[in-house]
Every structure is written in C-alpha cells, then in structure tokens.
C-alpha cells in the first residue's frame, strides 16, 4: 500500500514536527501569563514555564525577573531593602510581587487551557 518513499516521507515529517515544537510552543494559548508593569504601565507579558530572565528598567534602575517552572521572582533590583527579592516565587493567578522603590509590579494573570481568560485583564481590550 505505501511505497518505501512514502514511509520515509512520513517518518521525516514526524521528526520535523517533533523537533519544531520547542520553537513554536509559545504560540499555543494554554498556560499562565505574567504582566510586568512599571509606574502603572504594562511593559511586558511573559508566559510562566519558559526558562528566562527579563530585565525591566524601573524608576531607579534595572530589575531582573526570573521565570521558570517554579514560578516567577525578582532576582535582582536596585532597591536598598531587597524585600522584593526576599519575597520568593509566586505562581498562582492573582498573586503579585512589587518592588516599591523601583516601582515595578509583577502580576500573574491566568489563562485556562482553552485560551480564554478566567479573571483579570482581557488581552483583546489591551
């Protein structure tokens, strides 16, 4: 029924599909998203679970925010009391981290598996 060339083509397509997933996984809607605000204005929206660090310029300097499987947290900030760094990880919808001195806010705005908002800010109205 299938020729040898058909079988090779099918295997190649499956391998290419599997290898391309890491490059396009951020396009899928499911997951939990974080909004980063500076002085009340949204600067970035990032998905939790993608291992990365984001540098955000605040009022007095740069804050470094880390995203990984555990959640999101401040890694470095120019504030003197360092309470935002000591706060640790947040990972649930509605949780907030704030660096008062640098005026940077990190807020988790969840999205369900269907890609629709359960609560919080609506992507369409932004």
Of 44 and 29, the structure prediction assigns the larger pLDDT to: 44
Contacts with 67 (C-beta within 8 Å, 6 or more apart), sequence order: 34, 46, 47, 48, 49, 50, 51, 52, 53, 54
List, edge to edge, every strand of the sheet that includes 71-76.
Answer: 52-57, 62-68, 71-76
Least confident of 24-28, 49-53, 76-80, 102-106: 24-28
Angstrom distance (rounded) from CA 57 to CA 69: 24
- Length of the chain as a residue count: 126
Domains parsed from the chain with CATH numbers? 29-111 (2.60.320.10)
pLDDT confidence band for 92 (50 / 70 / 90): confident
- What is the structure's pLDDT at 9? 96
Average of pLDDT values for 48-72?
89
């Amino acid at each position: 029924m299938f020729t040898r060339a058909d079988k090779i083509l099918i295997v190649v397509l499956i391998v290419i599909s599997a290898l391309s997933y890491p490059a396009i996984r951020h396009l899928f809607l499911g997951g939990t998203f974080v909004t980063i605000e500076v002085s009340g204005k949204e600067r970035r929206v990032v998905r939790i679970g993608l291992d990365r660090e984001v540098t955000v310029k605040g009022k007095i300097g740069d804050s470094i925010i880390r995203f990984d499987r555990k959640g999101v947290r401040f890694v470095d900030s120019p504030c003197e009391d360092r309470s935002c760094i000591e706060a640790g990880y947040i990972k649930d919808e509605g949780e907030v981290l704030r660096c008062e001195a640098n005026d940077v806010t990190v807020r988790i705005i969840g999205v369900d598996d269907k890609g629709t908002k359960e609560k919080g800010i609506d992507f369409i109205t932004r």
